[in-house]
Amino acid sequence: MKPLGTTTQLNERHGMSTFSASLPGGTWTLGDQTVTRFGYGAMQLAGPGVMGPPADRDGALAVLREAVGLGITHIDTSGAYGPRVTNQLIREALHPYPESLRIVTKVGSTRDSNGGWPPARDPEALRRSVNENLQDLGLEVLDVVNLRLGNAQGPQPGSLAEPLQTLVELQQQGLIRHLGVSNATAEQVAEAQAIAPIVCVQNMYNLAWRHDDKLIDQLADDGIAYVPFFPLGGFSPLQSSALSAVAARLDATPMSVALAWLLRRSPNILLIPGTSSAAHLRENVAGAGLPLSDSDLAELDKIGR
């Protein structure tokens, strides 16, 4: 991403205050790019069902500016959100981007008229999607592009060689800085690593959904980020009596506990909780810093096992 401004300059332009304290979890190096482990997932900014524009456009722009104002340097997005809506909101809210900001996007699925997410992984669709992301975000090169695999039911087995090779070619053409995979099986992650350097894996994972425990530890050993989507449960909020009990004991919300637990789970976990509310975003940043004792962790660990 071109160095086009600092966070302070951006804040001055939009009349925001600069949050100087460091965010919970510190930072992680994504390829050669440093990001805050506390990031922001932009999917919730599109309209209902992640289709169309938001009801409150100014509110959506304010959430994005708040994220940067709080010091977040990692925003997760996709051309499929809206479609193209969240990318255009990101550009409107934040361009020219602060030098420190990294925008991570995804290609590999599109939207149909029913709001479905059909795969779009042939070379032509991937090239078109990368170009649309560049255009909508107002960038000459995308920081990180995740190849989204599987379908709405989750990861599906099968080789990713052909679509990943198309992205490698686009990377060689200078349109993509780093590659990742999303909604992938452990076998597909291993296949991807054999084809090209991978900087992140973005899969569904949270306190109650822990299919990737082993994969997370392997990726940590390899220095690769694991970015859980649905960290708060996604469209159905996390619900567990054990989680509620720990939250009540700590005088915190279950969401805070869920985010703090993820930051403690492994140093390669990067958070991208989604919200359409600036107040929720502030709550989540504060909540992720909640200290958890060893006995809290042991109790929470039982939920998804």
- Residues of this chain that interact with ligand NAP (CB under 6 A) are 41-44, 76, 106, 148, 182-183, 202, 229-234, 255, 272-277, 280, 283-284
CB 145 within 8 Å of CB 180: yes
Which residues neighbour 17 within 8 Å (Cβ) at sequence distance 6 or greater?
11, 69
- CA-angle at 47, arms to 287 and 19, nearest 5°: 35
- DSSP one-letter code for 83: T
Tokens of 71: 């010091």
Choose between 5 and 179: whose C-beta lies nearer to ligand NAP.
179
> 123-137 and 85-94 are packed helices; what angle lies between their axes, rounded to 10 degrees?
30
Question: Coil, strand or helix: which one is 105?
Answer: strand
Residue 97 appears among annotated catalytic residues: no
Choose between 55 and 161: whose C-beta lies nearer to ligand NAP.
55
Which residues neighbour 74 within 8 Å (Cβ) at sequence distance 6 or greater?
30, 35, 36, 38, 39, 40, 101, 102, 104, 270, 272
CB 109 within 8 Å of CB 120: yes
Q: Catalytic positions, please?
A: 81
